Amino acid sequence: MGQLIGDRAVVLGAGMAGLLTARVLSESYRSVVIVDRDEVEGVEGARRGVPQGRHAHALLAKGQQILQELFPGLDGELAASNVPAGDLAGDLRWYFNGQRLAPARSGLMSVSSTRPVLELHVRTRVAALPQVSFKTPFAVRGLRTGGQGRIIGVTIAGDDGEIEELAADLVVDATGRGSRSPVWLKELGFAPPEEDRIVINLAYTTRRFLLNSDPYGADLSINPVASLDNPRGGFFPKLHDGSSMLSLTGMLGDHPPTDPEGFLAFAKTLAAPEIYEAVKHAEPLDDPVTFKYPASVRRRYERLVDFPRGFLVIGDGVCSFNPVYGQGMTVAALEATVLREQLAQGIEPDAIQFFRAIAPLIDSPWDISAGGDLNFPGVEGPRTLKVRMGNAFMGKLHTAATRDPRVTEAFFRVAGLVDPPQALMRPSMILRVLRNSKPAADTGRLPVSEQVHVESGSRNDQ
Ligand SMILES: Cc1cc2nc3c(=O)[nH]c(=O)nc-3n(C[C@H](O)[C@H](O)[C@H](O)COP(=O)(O)OP(=O)(O)OC[C@H]3O[C@@H](n4cnc5c(N)ncnc54)[C@H](O)[C@@H]3O)c2cc1C
C-alpha cells in the first residue's frame, strides 16, 4: 500500500473503468467499495448492466500493457483459460477499403478475449485485493453532500427498493455512458460539462457459431473495417471455447438485421468473403443480438472551473468512443494510470486537475475515431482542415499498408494507442506512404459499395 489518503473510497460501477479505478485506489484508501446494480461476483457471462459485453471487444495494445502492469501475470491467466493471443498487426487479418493489410511483426500483443471473460479475470484479481469489497446489486440514486461543495457519500437502493446511505471520503463515478453526473452536478448547483457529440447511428449485431470449416488458417480474427466504399464492417474472432463470434456493424441507420436470413445477407456484403463462406453452413449457437449506439459523446469536464471535492468521473462517463475503434477500455486504463500518479502524491486527487490531465490522453483517440467518422459524408460535424487532411492521408496510408508491412506496423502502433498520431507523420513514414499508395491498375471490378447496393437492394444511401 502507498501513502494512506483516506478511510473509504466508493466506486460506482463494476465495469472495466470501475475495476481499474478500484485497483489503483486500493493503494491509497483503507477500504474501496464497488457498487453495481448487477450481481457481479462469480458472474461468467454477459450481464444486464454491460449489454455491449455480448459483442466483439478487443483490448488495444496500450490497454494490454497497462493491464499487465496493474495485474502481473494476467496474460498467463488468460492463456490458461485458452484465450487466443497473438500479434495485433500480424496474427489478425485486417481489411481496409476492401483490401487486406500486409501482416507485420509488431510485437504488439492482442488477446482475443470476449468482454465477459476479460472482465471476469480482471474482477477476480481486483476482488482478491484485501481492501476491496463489492456492494451488489445496488443502484446508485445520487450523491450526498456535506456542505461547502464536498461529497460525503452516495445514496443507493437495493433490489427491494430499500434505501441505504454509504459514507465515503472519495466517490468515483464509473457508471459508463449513462452516467448521471451531469444531472447530479446541476442539482447541486454546479455547471454541467459541455458535450461534443458525433452522431453515427451505429448498430452491432452479433451471433456465435461453431464452424465446420477453417477460414482463419494461422490468424486469430478476420476484421473487415467499414470504409467509404463499404460502410459495413465486421469482427470475426476465434474464441477461447472453440466457437467464433461474428459482430456485424452498420452505421447511419444501415443496421445489421437480427433475423438469421437478414444477418447472413448482411455478412455476405462484407469486404472479407471468407466470413460469409464460413458461417453460411455453420452451427449457430445463439440468436443474433443487437446494440444500438447513436453517437460518440465527449463530456468536457476539463473545461469546468468549479467541481465538488471528493468526487471524480472516469471511463465512458467522460468519453464514449465509436466502439468499432476499440478504444474505450484502453482509455479507461490510461485514465486509471493518471489517477494512480495523482494518488502517489499522497493527497486527495483534485477533480479539475484530474480532468485536465486526462484530456490530452483522450484527444488522440477522439481525433482518430470522431475524425475518422467525419470521413463519411453522412456524419455531421466540423470538418476542419486537420480532419480533412488527416482523413486524406489515412486513405493513402491504408493503401500503402496493403503493400508495406512497416506501414501496417506503424499504423497499429498508433491505432493501438501506443504511439501518438504524429508518429505517422515522420518524413520516412510519409515517404513510404507516398511510395506505396499509388493507385493499382483498374481491375474492372465494381466498387464494394456498388456490390452492396446490387446484392441487398435495401441499404440506405450513405
Ligand atoms: C458494441 C460495443 C462494442 C465495444 N467494443 C469495444 C472494444 O472492442 N474495445 C474497447 O476497448 N471498448 C469497446 N467498447 C467500449 C467499452 O465497452 C467501454 O469503453 C468500457 O467498458 C469502459 O466502460 P465503463 O467501465 O466506463 O462502463 P461500462 O463498461 O458500461 O460499465 C458501467 C457499469 O456501471 C454499472 N452501472 C450503471 N449505472 C449504474 C447505477 N445507477 N447504479 C449502479 N451501477 C450502475 C453497470 O452495471 C456497469 O457494470 C465497446 C462498446 C460497445 C457499445
In the chain, the percentage of residues whose pLDDT exceeds 90 is 90
Predicted pLDDT at 110: 87
Please name which of 177, 201, 180, 178 lies closest in space to residue 319, comparing C-alpha atoms: 177
Average pLDDT of span 238-267: 97
User: Which residue among 33, 34, 35, 36 is best mutated to probe the pocket of ligand 1, counting the most ligand atoms within 8 A of its Cβ?
Assistant: 36
Helix (H) or strand (E) holding 52: none
d(CA 70, CA 337): 9
The confidence band for 440, taking pLDDT boundaries of 50, 70 and 90, is low
In the reported structure, the alpha carbon of residue 233 is separated from the centroid of ligand 1 by a whole-number distance in angstroms of 21
CA dist., res. 222 & res. 235, Å (int)? 6
- The residues, any chain, with a CB within 8 Å of residue 393's CB and separated by 6 or more, are 424, 433
DSSP 312-363: EE-GGGTEE--GGG--HHHHHHHHHHHHHHHHTTTSPPPHHHHHHHHHHHHH
Burial of 442 by CB count in 10 Å (0-12 exposed, 13-18 middle, 19+ buried)? Answer: exposed
Does position 74 have pLDDT exceeding 80, yes or no? Answer: yes
Q: Do the Cβ atoms of 254 and 376 come closer than 8 Å? A: no
| Residue 23: per-residue pLDDT | 98
From the list 181, 180, 182, 170, the residue with the least C-alpha distance to 24 is 170
Mode of pairing for the β-strands spanning 85-87 and 29-35 = unpaired
Contacts of 371 by beta carbon, 8 Å cutoff, 6+ apart: 386, 387, 390, 391
Q: Which of 20, 33, 52, 135 has most ligand 1 atoms within 8 Å of CB, for mutation?
A: 52
* Structure confidence by residue, pLDDT tens digits, 37-60: 999 998 999 999 999 999 999 999
Residue 343: CA atoms inside 13 Å, Cβ hemisphere, count? Answer: 25
pLDDT of residue 448: 35
Query: Would you state the pLDDT for residue 438?
Result: 84
Amino acid 111: pLDDT? 86
Task: Report the nearest-CA residue for atom 10 of ligand 1.
Answer: 326
The yes-or-no verdict on residue 303 having pLDDT over 60 is yes
* 416 Cβ closer than 6 Å to some ligand 1 atom: no
Supply the pLDDT for residue 452: 36
Q: Angle, to 10 degrees, between the axis of helix 61-70 and the axis of helix 328-343?
A: 40
- Using CA atoms, how far residue 341 sits from 154, 327, 336, 349, 370, in Å, is 25, 21, 9, 10, 28
The pLDDT value given to residue 33: 98
> What pLDDT digit, counting tens, does each position of 379-389 carry?
998 899 999 99
Residue 132 has pLDDT above 80, yes or no: yes
pLDDT at 42: 87
Specify the pLDDT at position 3. Answer: 85
Q: In sequence order, what are the residues at sequence separation of 6 or more whose Cβ sits closer than 8 angstroms to the Cβ of residue 240?
A: 81, 82, 83, 84, 112, 113, 114, 117
List, for residues 305-350, the tens digit of each pLDDT value.
999 999 999 999 999 999 999 999 999 999 999 999 999 999 999 9
Ligand 1 pocket, residue 208 CB under 6 Å: no
339 lines ligand 1 (CB under 6 A): no
Asked if residue 18 has its Cβ within 6 Å of ligand 1, the reply is yes
Residue 25 carries which side chain, given as an amino acid letter? L
As beta bridge partners, residue 109 has 87
**What fold is seen in the domain 6-84+112-196+296-360?**
FAD/NAD(P)-binding domain (3.50.50)
Q: Return the domain boundaries, the chain.
A: 6-84+112-196+296-360, 199-294
| 17 Cβ inside 6 Å of ligand 1 | yes
- Residue 16 Cβ contacting ligand 1 at under 6 Å: yes
Q: Which of 195-199, 215-219, 270-274, 451-455 is predicted least confidently?
A: 451-455
pLDDT at 147: 81
Mean pLDDT computed over 393-407: 96
Q: What amino acid occupies position 169?
A: D
Instruction: Report pLDDT digits (tens) over 209-232.
Output: 999 999 999 999 999 999 998 999
pLDDT at position 87 over 90: yes
Q: Which ligand 1 atom is nearest residue 291's CA?
A: 1
Which pLDDT belongs to residue 2? 73
Cα distances (Å, whole numbers) of residue 189 to 165, 308, 309, 388 = 21, 10, 13, 40
Of 200, 272, 201, the residue nearest 233 (C-alpha): 272
**248: nearest Cα among 229, 228, 223:** 223
Residue nearest to atom 11 of ligand 1 (CA): 329
Cis check: omega of the bond before 192, within 30 degrees of 0: no
260, 288 Cβ separation under 8 angstroms:
yes
- At 454, the pLDDT band (50, 70, 90 cuts) reads very low
Specify which residues 203 forms β-bridges with.
Answer: 250, 292
- Is 38:48 a contact under the CB 8 Å cutoff? yes
What is the band of 112 on the pLDDT scale with cuts at 50, 70, 90?
Answer: confident
- Among residues 282, 297, 67, 111, which one has the least CA distance to residue 197? 297
Q: Would you say residue 79 has pLDDT above 70?
A: yes
Task: List the residue whose alpha carbon is closest to atom 47 of ligand 1.
Answer: 49
From the alpha carbon of 293, which atom of ligand 1 is closest? 53
pLDDT digits (tens, 9 = 90+) for 147-163: 888 999 999 999 998 99
